[in-house]
Amino acid sequence: MTFVSLLYGVFLLAVLAIYWLIQSQWLRLWILLLASVIFYGSIQIYYIPLLFALTFFNFRLGLILGKRSLLRLNSKDWRLSNQEWQKVQENWDKKRLRFLWLGIFLNVFLLFGFKYVPFFLNSIASLFNLPVIKEQATWLNLQLIAPLGISFFCFECISYLIDVYRGAPATGNFLKFSTYKLFFPKLISGPITRYHHLAAQLNTLRFPSTNQIVEGLWLIACGAVKKALIADRIGILVGVSFDNLERAGSGDLWLATFAYGLQLYLDFSGYVDIALGTALLLGLNLPQNFDFPYFTTSIAEFWRRWHITLGDWLRNYLYFPLGGSRQGLGRTCFNLLVVMLIAGIWHGAAWGFVAWGAYHGIALVIHRLTETLSDNVSILKKWWQTIPGIVLAWAITQLMVFTSWIFFRLPNLQDSTWVFTHLWGHQADVQFAQKVYLEAIGLQREEITLLLWAIVGIMGLIFALHRRLKLQLNWPIKIMLVPLSLYAVWMLAPKQGLPYIYFDF
């Protein structure tokens, strides 16, 4: 069962009907949990016990971390002197820190075990020329299938444990915690959601208003159009282009890179739109994950508007604990590099993702150095605020972002390096245009280029209406467009839809 399918539509309608007909909040939690199990079980039923075990472990550990003190549990505690009281409290704080590290270690260990062991063994085998280990890595890679959403799942668990350690209340309600952890709209690809953000809403579930219902349906329709009608069509071009690298010319590689950047954004933001729309119909609000990231003028701003919940997680649980920007420019640059390297590794087990993280880390460092220089040189600071400066900043940012996606699409460094070294001056095979563009797509390269730029133009128009003019469609227009959008997806989307890209991460 995937979001863009008739089965999901029937499933969602059934869940909504049962969910809102029941008046008990407690039973609604059970309905949500059961629906989440059914949804995940339709894809990977054999990993459901593991998810529940991991959920229970983090729940119990949260209860331990939530105990601010072991005192007041014994009637003799009042006899302790202030010094003894302080000593006991210090010892307990040290134990709480050890429990926190235990939780972080086990979550990371589980993530590492499923996603990175074959990659780690392959790297060791290649470095020391050990064919036996390479064979074991190959076998593990074929046999070991990571649970869908395990990266998002573990990051949410870690954030919950750290929040509780920092002073947020731990929940004693396992049903509510399980509902939060397994909530099906966000389970596989986010957005990454903090427990206390969702728990407060679960305490006061209310039937959505007319505007919320329309907005939920509109988000689902928009997500379906983005994913099935546009991203999957672009994905056909990207697939045939990158699968025929050595026959492609430099212009073809640039076009495929540009197309993949659009496909990735529309695919992932389409997923999130459907997740947010589904949650709204269930009376819940999930955090936003995208805010027109391709219209940013710096890499720092890009990361504030691309995969927003991951960026927030990286800032709150890595960047700030490392010292953030409080310990000088050199340490700030080091922290940025470390955080982005971890972000790259989180996305996948291949050197291409490490290179992607390093690429973004270096870009963030250059931006921080440029920003520091501009703050000290008033002429330079003013120039970046002029129209030519803004356009140049936008062009540099997006060039960096789009070329970085090459590592995403081709995480094998041999392939991605080949693309980078052939982006200029490389002639295409004489039959490439015929085989790829005309036979596979049915359009000339120039026509495809115009269509892709038309998509960017539409995105720019929506950006101008939303962000600049603050204009929104009213709910009668949205409710009229919803069935038309879904019908268009039904009739015009590719028959064999592509899997969501972030399912691999």
Q: Which residues are catalytic?
A: 347
- DSSP code for 434: I
- Contacts for 157 with CB less than 8 Å, ≥ 6 apart: 54, 58, 103, 107, 181
Instruction: Output helix, strand, coil percentages for the chain, rounded to the nearest 5.
Output: 75, 0, 25
**CA nearest to 325, candidates 378, 289, 369:** 369
Give the C-alpha separation, 94 to 61, whole Å: 15
Q: How far is CA 470 from the centre of its chain?
A: 27
The b-or-e profile of 306-338 (16+ CB within 10 A means b, else e) is bbbbbbbbbeebbbeebeeeeeeeeebbbbbbe
Q: How far is CA 430 from the centre of its chain?
A: 39
Coil, strand, or helix at residue 478?
Answer: helix
Cβ-in-10-Å burial (0-12, 13-18, 19+) of 53 comes to exposed
How far lies 145's CA from each of 67, 151, 214, in Å? 37, 13, 38
- DSSP code for 193: -
Place of tokens 């409290």: 89
Return the CA Rg of the chain.
Answer: 25
The angle formed by the CA atoms of residues 442, 411 and 128, to the nearest 5 degrees, is 145
Give the C-alpha separation, 190 to 309, whole Å: 8
Q: Mind spelling out the 3-state secondary structure of 343-387?
A: HHHHHCCCHHHHHHHHHHHHHHHHHHHHHHHHHHCHHHHHHCCCH
Give the C-alpha separation, 253 to 426, whole Å: 10
**CA nearest to 50, candidates 114, 142, 138:** 114
- DSSP code for 79: G
Place of tokens 């003028």: 297
Q: What sign for the dihedral angle of Cα 241, 244, 249, 250? A: positive
Distance from first CA to last CA of the chain, Å, rounded? 18
- Contacts for 69 with CB less than 8 Å, ≥ 6 apart: 89, 92
**CA nearest to 306, candidates 364, 362, 256, 254:** 364
